[in-house]
A and B are shown apart, each in its own frame.
Chain A
C-alpha cells in the first residue's frame, strides 16, 4: 500500500493539522495519537510537516522598514502649494530629483542669460550669463555642419530686446482691440434679436387680448338677452294675470 493511498484513505487531514499546531482538543489529540500508532503514512506525514515547519521558520525578518505615516490634523489649515511641493520633493526618488534639478537649471539659464532666435541668418543661440561679450553660436540653415561665431555688442542686444518687446506689446494691443470689436458686434446683433423677439411677443399678446375681449362681449350679450327674456316673460305674464282678474268696468244700460 503506497503512502498516497494510505493518506487518502485516512481522511485525517484536519485532525493532523490541528494536532501539528497544538489546536486539537484533548479528546481529538488522544484519538489522533491512537491513529498514529496504526497509520505509518500519517506518522511519516506528520514528521515531514514538522520538518517543513522548521524550514519555514528559517525565514525570519531582520529589519522592518518604518512606515512613515504623516497623519494630518483635521483642523489644520490647508497646506500651501510650497508645502505640497516640498513633500513631493521628499518623496521623489533620486533620479527624479536629479532630472528636476537639471530642468530647473535649464529654465534658469533660459530666463537669465540665454537668447535663442531663428532668423534669416539661421539659428542663433547664446548661453552665458557672466560674460558681457559672450560668443554667439550661429548655425546656418543650408550648411548645418558649419558653425560661425560672431561677437555681439550688449547694447545691440538690448536694442533688439526693446524692439521685440514693443512689437509684442503692439501685437497684444491689436489682438485685444480686435476681440473687443468682435464682442461689440455680437452684442449689437444680440440686442437686435431680442428687440425683434419682444415685438413679436407683444403682437401675439395684443391679439390674444383682443380675442378674449370679443369673447367677453359675446358672453355679455348672451347674458343680457337671457336676462331680458326672463324679465319680459315675468312682465308679460303679470299683465295677463291682472287682465283676467280685474273685470271690465265698461257699463251696459
Chain B
C-alpha cells in the first residue's frame, strides 16, 4: 500500500530524515518540469529544483497538514522561480522573437524525421512561454503541464478563482499570437 505524503512527513519529523527522499523521488519530476518551464534554462531549473527540496526539508516542521504537500511545494518552487526571474528581463516581444529566431519548420522532403520537427516546435513553445509575463506563465504551466485544477492553482497562488481564469485566458491569447507563425508553417 502506498504511503501518503503526510505519513512520509510525519516519519521525517519523527526522526527518520532519510524518509524525505521518498518525497523527493515522487515530486522531483513535477518540480523540475515546473521550474524548467518557468525559467526556460536547464541548469537554472536544476538549481531551482534542488533549492526547492532543500527549502522544503528545512521548513518541513512549518508545513500544516490541512494543505496538500503538493500545493505547498509548488508554492515554494514558484517563489524560487519568481525570485530568479526578477533578476532578469523576462519578457520578449513577438517582434524580438521573430528577429532572433525566424521559424522554418523542417520539411518532410528534407529527410528530417517527425521527432526533429517535434523538437523544433518544442523549442519555439519554450521561447513563446518565456515571452509571457511570469504571472501568466505560471498559471499556464500549472494547468497545461501539471494538470492542476483551477481552484488548486488559485489556492497555490493565493488568488481568486476568477483571476486565475482571466490570466489563463490572457496567457492563451498571447501564446496564440506568438505561436501564429508556427501554426502557419505547419
Contact = CB atoms under 8 A, between A and B. Distances in A.
Interface string A50-70: 011101111111001111010
Nearest to B163: A14
A57 B33 CA distance: 13
Contact of A69 (B46, B54, B150): B54
A85 interface: no
Query: Which 3 A-B pairs have CB atoms at the shortest separation, nearest pair first?
Result: A59-B122, A13-B169, A14-B165
B32 A55 contact: no
Contacts of A60: 122
Interface in A106-137: none
Contacts of B18: 71, 73
Q: How extensive is the interface on chain A, given as a class?
A: 20 to 34
B41 interface: no
B133 to A, nearest CB: 17
13 contacts: A14-B166, A49-B172, A52-B172, A52-B176, A56-B129, A58-B122, A59-B126, A67-B28, A67-B32, A69-B24, A69-B53, A71-B57, A72-B17
Contacts of B75: none
A58 B50 contact: no
A157 to B, nearest CB: 52
B125 A58 contact: yes
Nearest to B119: A58
B149 interface: yes
A173 interface: no
B28 A56 contact: no
Interface of A: 13-14, 16-18, 21, 23, 45, 48-49, 51-53, 55-61, 64-67, 69, 71-74
Residue among A18, A51, A71 with the highest chain B CB neighbour number at 10 A:
A71
Report whether over half of chain B's contact residues are helix, strand or loop; otherwise say mixed.
helix
A67 B169 contact: no
Given A16-B169, A23-B150, A57-B144, A69 B50 contact: yes
A58 B36 contact: no
Of listed A48, A53, A57, residue having the most chain B CB within 10 A: A48
A230 B33 CA distance: 107
B136 interface: no
B144 A67 contact: no
A165 B29 CA distance: 62
B73 interface: no
B29 A53 contact: no
